[in-house]
Amino acid sequence: MIESQQTSVRTPRLCCPEPSPTWAATDLYTLSHLNSSTAHNSAILKSTLDNSADQGLPDIYSSRAFAKFLALQAKAIDAKHFLEVGTLGGFASIWLASENPNLKVTTLEYNPHHAEVAKENIAHAGLSDRITVHVGPALETLPTVLSDIDTGKLPKLDMVYVDADKQNNWNYVNAAISGCRKGAVIIVDNVVQGGQIASGDDLSDKPEYVTGARKVIENVGKDERVTATVIQTVGEGSHDGFLFAVVR
Ligand SMILES: C[S@@+](CC[C@H](N)C(=O)[O-])C[C@H]1O[C@@H](n2cnc3c(N)ncnc32)[C@H](O)[C@@H]1O
């Protein structure tokens, strides 16, 4: 019996090979020991996923192992302000805030229904005072957040997580760097896409999630403000990976 937050098997992603049963089983085994049903936040994470599914949200939330990795990374750098681009139902935001009692999360969501469900889940988790959802295209809401950081209304960003429309990956990273403190961590999800990013230089027939992944990797590589690497991952979310950058 799986003891964790997820109640159903995730829908395979179009981009990537079907997750191998071994990868998914390994995630389930490790999570059952490292975030079991008795974990302090297990019940709220489960109700977040259940309510999101009941309200018709797609099951494209960050994998549980990855959401917990984000929360632990925030703890490791004693993050006080975390920015997420792409809220969905608030799963990663709720994991971050529930694991880090001193953390404020600012999260940006384009889809009004997703944002509504996220706000409901956040309220149910008792975290409305520490997680703020901005509704609208992130390219429009991010400048407001950055201006509030500039004027001191919000603290500088300690961590940024980009997980929305992939063609704008670089635009979000490029803009967010200006709101980051030195040493801040920036993570961009889904930049490996089953290895499609390495399938040649002719991008004419490539989908936006591949060109968006390549653009952020290539531009970050040329940008003196950050230093970065990409880590490939497998698991319940198939073969993908994330870009991990640190602001100099
Ligand atoms: C993969 S989901 C995010 C999952 C979430 N980070 C989590 O861990 O549960 C991507 C989300 O980004 C949102 N999104 C897509 N384009 C966007 C945009 N231009 N601005 C803000 N959000 C956007 C989608 O509506 C969707 O809810």
Cβ of residue 66 lying under 6 Å from some atom of ligand 1: no
Cβ of residue 221 lying under 6 Å from some atom of ligand 1: no
* Pocket-testing residue among 11, 55, 84, 165, ligand 1, by greatest number of atoms within 8 A of Cβ: 165
Pair of tokens at residue 97: 């805030």
Q: What is the dihedral of CA 190, 93, 135, 192, to 10 degrees?
A: 0
Nearest ligand 1 atom to alpha carbon 95: 8
Dist. CA 160–CA 48, nearest whole Å: 22
* Pocket-testing residue among 16, 83, 88, ligand 1, by greatest number of atoms within 8 A of Cβ: 88
Radius of gyration of the chain measured on its C-alpha atoms:
17
pLDDT of 164 reads 98
pLDDT of 240 reads 95
Dist. CA 109–CA 142, nearest whole Å: 10
Q: What are the pLDDT tens digits along the chain (248 aa)?
A: 233 444 444 555 556 778 889 998 999 999 999 988 888 999 999 999 999 999 999 999 999 999 999 999 999 999 999 999 999 999 999 999 999 999 999 999 999 999 999 999 999 999 999 999 999 999 999 999 999 999 999 999 999 999 999 999 999 999 999 999 999 999 999 999 999 999 888 888 899 999 999 999 999 999 999 999 999 999 887 899 999 999 99
pLDDT of 177 reads 98
Closest C-alpha residue for ligand 1 atom 9: 61
Write the CB contacts of 20 (distance below 8 Å, at least 6 apart in sequence). Answer: 234
Q: Which CATH code for domain 21-247?
A: 3.40.50.150
Neighbours of 92 (CB within 10 A): 28
Cβ of residue 109 lying under 6 Å from some atom of ligand 1: yes
* Pocket-testing residue among 46, 60, 94, 119, ligand 1, by greatest number of atoms within 8 A of Cβ: 60
Tokens 């920015």 — which residue? 83
Domain map (residue ranges) of the chain: 21-247
Q: Which residues pair with 3 in a beta bridge?
A: none
Dist. CA 248–CA 183, nearest whole Å: 6
Dist. CA 101–CA 92, nearest whole Å: 15
Q: What's the gap in Å between 1 CA and the centre of ligand 1?
A: 31
Beta strands 226-233 and 81-85 are unpaired
Is residue 62 within 8 A of residue 70, CB to CB? The reply is: yes
Cβ of residue 45 lying under 6 Å from some atom of ligand 1: no
Pair of tokens at residue 160: 């940024």
Write the CB contacts of 131 (distance below 8 Å, at least 6 apart in sequence). Answer: 90, 93, 94, 97, 104, 105, 107, 122
